[in-house]
């Protein structure tokens, strides 16, 4: 075991900034991170092949306090400005940038039901369902994940709100419970509003919340396994909101459940994109993300293969179901995704991850809508 000590003045999260920033994490990982008033100490395990030389696990460059983008901070993405406003920090933890896929999933489910109408009541129901899926339950998931990832973030991104002490333990835990109960409450309201005999939306919300918990929290911590964890994440972003939207306006059928779970393999590929930036911390904690398990080069091709092959399979399914125009439209939406994979992602998945996702994912989510419309007819 080797220990590396850095003076607090040498990093961006200097504890001399504000009282809030001087707060420290409770129950730190015993072999990884400890934060004292005067020092930031990182303990990492020396490898067998290089027992005498241990490289720092803390990034060489940490954004200076007050630096970064205010816009990125509000969206909850990297390059964010460090804030002391507690409500901006709370919003950052929910990662609003991750809400749109869930919102879009509700749209796809509503479209697939074949029973959505452009009237005030149906639009209001859809908006409430989007609030449940996005800000509430996705916000709960992201905050929970950041809480259980605080040791990893102390290595990869020590300037984030939780490892930097910008928000306290009780504030984080309160936010987790408020978002969870708010999401479950909205699900129950929607069941009553839709006149369901069985509270299917509440069950879906409860099941999704449980998956979120075991994805992030020990002892199961599904994210420790790159395959299981990323598929669970993909299904949460594609299948669950689709099921919610379809159950709200129509009937959730077994064939749709199977189809959307297959589509979630593409979601697995999208989830892998986020693993490349966390390789250092994942390796230090022994998490078997795919970039750690297979290496960066192989993991890149697993990622794009999961995204592209899944969509090609779905296009084939639509063709076999006698819907050639929908199949052709889906194929047309796959081509630009492949272009941006070669243009950005395959060149450097860390440097270009945001550009790649911003460029390619709109075509993937449009493909979801094409598939939903195909199944509604």
pLDDT at 213 over 70: yes
- Asked whether residue 51 falls in the same domain as residue 118, the answer is no
Number of domains the chain is built from: 2
Q: What is the DSSP letter of 69?
A: B
In angstroms, rounded to a whole number, what is the distance separating the alpha carbons of residues 309 and 313?
A: 6
Residues 17-41, mean pLDDT to the nearest whole number: 40
**CA triplet 265, 256, 137: central angle to 5 degrees?**
65
pLDDT of residue 67: 56
Confidence of residue 287 (pLDDT cuts 50, 70, 90): confident
- Asked whether residue 98 falls in the same domain as residue 53, the answer is no
- Asked whether residue 46 falls in the same domain as residue 106, the answer is no
Q: Judging by beta carbons within 10 Å of its beta carbon (0-12, 13-18, 19+), is residue 49 exposed, middle or buried?
A: exposed
- pLDDT tens figures, 55-82: 434 444 444 444 577 877 777 777 777 8
Residues 306-334, mean pLDDT to the nearest whole number: 97
pLDDT at 29 over 70: no
- pLDDT tens figures, 217-238: 999 999 888 899 999 999 999 9
pLDDT at 40 over 80: no
Residue of 374, 361, 369 lying closest to 245 (CA atoms): 369
Residues 330-357, mean pLDDT to the nearest whole number: 95
Residue of 148, 134, 139 lying closest to 95 (CA atoms): 139
In angstroms, rounded to a whole number, what is the distance separating the alpha carbons of residues 32 and 42?
A: 6
**Cβ 318 vs Cβ 330: under 8 Å:** yes
Q: What is the DSSP letter of 198?
A: S
Three-class secondary structure of residue 233 per DSSP: helix
- Asked whether residue 51 falls in the same domain as residue 190, the answer is no
Q: Give domain status of residue 253, yes or no.
A: yes
Specify whether the backbone of 76 is left (phi greater than 0), alpha (psi in -120 to 50) or beta: left
Please report how many Cα atoms fall inside a 13 Å half-sphere around the Cα of residue 117, on the Cβ side: 4
- Asked whether residue 289 falls in the same domain as residue 159, the answer is yes
- Asked whether residue 124 falls in the same domain as residue 215, the answer is yes
Q: Give domain status of residue 173, yes or no.
A: yes
Number of residues written out for the chain: 377
pLDDT at 19 over 70: no
Q: Give domain status of residue 325, yes or no.
A: yes
- Asked whether residue 51 falls in the same domain as residue 101, the answer is no
- Asked whether residue 141 falls in the same domain as residue 192, the answer is yes
pLDDT of residue 70: 81
φ, ψ (nearest 5 deg) of residue 288 = -95, 65
Name which of 31-35, 126-130, 249-253 the model is least confident about: 31-35
Confidence of residue 2 (pLDDT cuts 50, 70, 90): very low
pLDDT at 327 over 90: yes
Instruction: Return the C-alpha torsion angle 337, 246, 230, 72, nearest 10.
Output: 70
**Cβ 190 vs Cβ 130: under 8 Å:** no
Domain that holds residue 270: 92-375
**String of b and e for 332-366 (b: at least 16 CB within 10 Å)?**
ebbebbeebbeebbbeebeebbeebbebbbbbbbb
**Cβ 231 vs Cβ 268: under 8 Å:** yes
Q: Give domain status of residue 78, yes or no.
A: no
Q: Give domain status of residue 188, yes or no.
A: yes
- pLDDT tens figures, 112-169: 999 999 999 999 999 999 999 999 999 999 999 999 999 888 887 888 899 999 999 9
Q: Give domain status of residue 82, yes or no.
A: no
* Highest-pLDDT range among 24-28, 50-54, 214-218: 214-218
| Token pair 């972003």: residue | 237
Q: Give domain status of residue 69, yes or no.
A: no
Percent of the chain at pLDDT > 90 equals 67
Residue of 25, 316, 364 lying closest to 167 (CA atoms): 25
Q: Judging by beta carbons within 10 Å of its beta carbon (0-12, 13-18, 19+), is residue 322 exposed, middle or buried?
A: exposed
- Asked whether residue 40 falls in the same domain as residue 99, the answer is no
Per-residue tokens: 134: 């996005």
**Cβ 73 vs Cβ 173: under 8 Å:** no
In angstroms, rounded to a whole number, what is the distance separating the alpha carbons of residues 247 and 251?
A: 5
- Asked whether residue 104 falls in the same domain as residue 217, the answer is yes
| Token pair 């999401």: residue | 183
Q: Give domain status of residue 166, yes or no.
A: yes
Per-residue tokens: 326: 């929908």
- Asked whether residue 285 falls in the same domain as residue 341, the answer is yes
Q: Full-prediction pTM beyond 0.85?
A: no
Percent of the chain at pLDDT > 70 equals 81
- Asked whether residue 51 falls in the same domain as residue 150, the answer is no
């Amino acid at each position: 075991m080797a220990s590396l000590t850095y003076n607090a003045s040498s990093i961006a999260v200097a504890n001399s900034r504000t009282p809030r920033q001087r707060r420290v994490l409770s129950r730190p990982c015993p072999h990884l991170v400890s934060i004292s008033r005067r020092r930031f100490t990182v303990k990492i395990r020396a490898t067998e092949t290089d027992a005498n030389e241990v490289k720092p696990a803390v990034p060489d460059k940490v954004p200076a306090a007050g630096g970064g983008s205010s816009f990125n901070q509000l969206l909850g993405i990297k390059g964010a400005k460090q804030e002391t406003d507690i409500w901006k920090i709370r919003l950052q933890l929910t990662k609003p940038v991750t809400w749109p896929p869930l919102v879009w999933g509700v749209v796809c489910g509503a479209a697939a039901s074949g029973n959505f109408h452009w009237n005030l009541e149906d639009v209001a129901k859809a908006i409430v369902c989007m609030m449940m899926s996005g800000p509430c339950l996705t916000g709960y998931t992201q905050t929970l994940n950041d809480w259980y990832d605080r040791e990893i973030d102390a290595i990869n991104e020590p300037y984030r709100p939780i490892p930097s002490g910008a928000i306290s333990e009780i504030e984080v835990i309160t936010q987790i419970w408020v978002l969870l109960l708010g999401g479950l409450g909205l699900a129950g309201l929607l069941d009553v509003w839709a006149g369901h005999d069985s509270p299917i939306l509440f069950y879906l919300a409860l099941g999704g919340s449980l998956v979120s918990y075991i994805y992030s929290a020990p002892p199961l911590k599904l994210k420790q396994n790159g395959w299981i964890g990323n598929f669970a994440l993909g299904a949460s972003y594609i299948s669950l909101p689709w099921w919610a939207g379809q159950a709200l306006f129509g009937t959730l059928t077994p064939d749709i459940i199977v189809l959307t779970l297959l589509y979630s393999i593409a979601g697995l590929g999208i989830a892998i994109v986020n693993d490349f930036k966390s390789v250092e911390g994942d390796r230090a904690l022994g998490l078997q993300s795919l970039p750690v398990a297979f290496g960066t080069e192989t993991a890149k091709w697993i990622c794009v293969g999961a995204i592209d092959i899944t969509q090609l399979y779905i296009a084939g399914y639509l063709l076999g179901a006698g819907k050639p125009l929908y199949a052709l439209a889906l194929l047309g939406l796959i081509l630009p995704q492949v272009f941006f994979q070669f243009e950005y992602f395959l060149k450097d998945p860390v440097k270009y991850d945001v550009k790649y996702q911003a460029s390619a994912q709109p075509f993937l989510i449009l493909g979801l809508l094409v598939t939903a419309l195909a199944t509604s007819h």
